[in-house]
Structure 1
Amino acid sequence: MRLGRLLTATTALGLGTLAYSYVEATRRFVVRELTVPALPAGRDPIRVLHLSDIHLVPDQAPKRAWLRSLANLEPDLVIDTGDNLAHHGSVGPLVQDLGPLLEVPGAFVFGSNDYFAPHRKNPAAYLSGGTGVDRGGEWEREKDLPYELLRAELSSGGWLDLNNARGELTVNGTRLAFTGVDDPHLRYDRLDPTPADASADLRIGVAHAPYLRVLDTFNATGNELILAGHTHGGQLQVPGYGALVTNCDLDTKRANGLHTHRTEGNDASWLHVSAGCGTSPFTPFRFCCRPEATVLTLTG
């Protein structure tokens, strides 16, 4: 009888945790605010909205309503670090939900789920902590999401396409130089060893997945701020410990949030890794890691 009660209690706890994790992933969206002293002294602040890992499916009504509300934050700049889609019909709804944000200065890169639709897989493979370096044939199939349509829509209002590209924007009188890469998780990145534009007021590196080879190159080439996503903050965090995995070779202590990254002989770069605001539709669970967007206020 005692064993039976223990099994019943354990089962109830497990089911309750699973139910909470589903609610957290699909309802408990949050906007986080951080200050990053990355601008030259005396410059006006710049409010940067960092979006990542939306993984949109058209019937996700609560997420879509929350996305529409983000325009009320009135950012000066929007950076989207990829994995926008999770369904073949998501581009139109995404553009509709971003709405006025597409008219704000912005930039974007792609993640794997801008090219490939998600599919069922063993979640234990993610929790094993694999870095994605050896993925076998998972990404050898033909691209099946409308990524070129997504590219056209995000670029239509003036957002910079930073997939293996550079660009610049002037925001609040401050000249920003960007260096971006296509998805490192797919090994689509083409790292450029050329130093970032030294004449700009701030240099920013943008990537979907924060692999160390990318962070090292961004830092060594003089980018003072680096923005990435991909990790989902580990998606399941242990209270008092944090993330168990990052799904890349970044350490779990930097699975999400604001940190620094430094290579030998160079000044440290600010590094912000977004925990993202979505999940694969086949694993709609988060625990102690709410879906998020972040407003980074850049100051002098």
Structure 2
Amino acid sequence: MPTNVKTFAKTAGGILGAGIALGLGTAAWGYSELTKFQLKTHTLPLLEPGTLRGQKEFRILHVSDLHMIPGQDTKKAWVSALDSLEPDLVINTGDNLSDERAVPDVLQALEPLLNRPGMFVFGTNDYWAPRLVNPFRYLLRMKRPPSYVDLPWQGMRAAFIERGWRDANQKRVEFQVGRVRLAAAGVDDPHHHLDDYSEIAGAPNVDSDLAIALLHSPEPRVLEKFEADGYQIAFAGHTHGGQICLPGGRAIVTNSDIDRKRASGLHRFGSMGLHVSNGLGTSKFAPVRIFCRPSATLLKITEREA
């Protein structure tokens, strides 16, 4: 074999080996990030002066995308411990399941939080099991059809409602928590067009103190309708914050029509606030997070200045 061919083969082999080692190392690091949970906090002045009557703030805990698998004890313990934050309201924006056996694990994780006022909407991974997909479809923003393999969501929904959480899927709900009168509306998962905004359209009750919109996937076509109707803040999940991000948590794709800059965190959507959770889990077929640790968020809603 000529010397130059041997040199090329040796160099190519070295590059290939280095690439494989880098890929394996990145995958191992991304897997290790799955249990490095974070709590994010934001303060947002949305309430009229005098609403809280001396109370400092109204605390909303936003959890999303648990994608629970049996045996995820670290996740269950961390989520349960969020009750120590003493939220006034818990909002769950769906995709609780990643396995047909995981409903008991979801209920164990949320157990103490189910004693508090709450609302929820579902994502498609509440209704149908995840499946192995080509990762290039994700990176190329090609929508992946659901598996249509049913998950036991009915029992989970029944348990949520029995404990007092309000089902906001295609519903308008009104109730009072402490001193705050809430008007909320939600749609079923718009990522796969399970939503029908006409069923909940219209302005929130003018006598409410805080108007909240809920949806699993932050699709602009739905957010525009909530904003036009006068909701003050919308809560969503689904994006996983990009899940595989560039340094600084910069999303490469969002798996929705929301722009990458609003793939996670607190933002504005026209005149409305928008909080997108980057979630607490991943599909069991994609157990990796890069520059995007799992999280829940505590929003401290305060009074506006007089």
Q: Is the 8 A contact 1:105 1:169 kept in 2?
A: no
Question: How far does residue 92 in structure 1 lie from its aligned partner after superposition?
Answer: 1.5
Q: Is the 8 A contact 1:235 1:243 kept in 2?
A: yes
Which of 55, 70, 75 does residue 58 from structure 1 map onto?
70
Structure 1 residues 16, 250: closer, same or farther in 2, change over 3 A? same
Q: Is the 8 A contact 1:129 1:245 kept in 2?
A: yes
What does residue 24 of structure 1 align with?
33
TM-score (norm 1): 0.92
Describe how 1:9-88 pairs up with structure 2 within 5 A.
Answer: 9-25=18-34, 27-42=35-50, 43=52, 44=55, 45-88=57-100
Describe how 1:135-284 pairs up with structure 2 within 5 A.
Answer: 138-139=145-146, 141=148, 144-191=150-197, 192-240=200-248, 242-262=250-270, 268-284=271-287
Letter in 1 for 2:251: A
Query: Aligned residue pairs: how many?
Result: 288
Partners in 1 of 2:96 and 2:286 — Cα distance?
Answer: 16
Q: Is the 8 A contact 2:128 2:147 kept in 1?
A: no
- 1:126-162 Cα deviation digits (max 9, x unpaired): 11123x4xx5xx3483x51111111101111111100
Partners in 1 of 2:17 and 2:147 — Cα distance?
Answer: 45
Identity of aligned residues (%): 47
Describe how 1:114-153 pairs up with structure 2 within 5 A.
Answer: 114-130=126-142, 132=143, 138-139=145-146, 141=148, 144-153=150-159
- 1:247-296 Cα deviation digits (max 9, x unpaired): 1111011000000001xxxxx11100000000000000000100111111
What does residue 265 of structure 1 align with?
none
Q: Is the 8 A contact 1:51 1:293 kept in 2?
A: yes
TM-score (norm 2): 0.90
Partners in 1 of 2:36 and 2:206 — Cα distance?
Answer: 41
What does residue 292 of structure 1 align with?
295
**Structure 1 unpaired stretches of 5+:** 263-267
Which of 111, 117, 136 does residue 105 from structure 1 map onto?
117
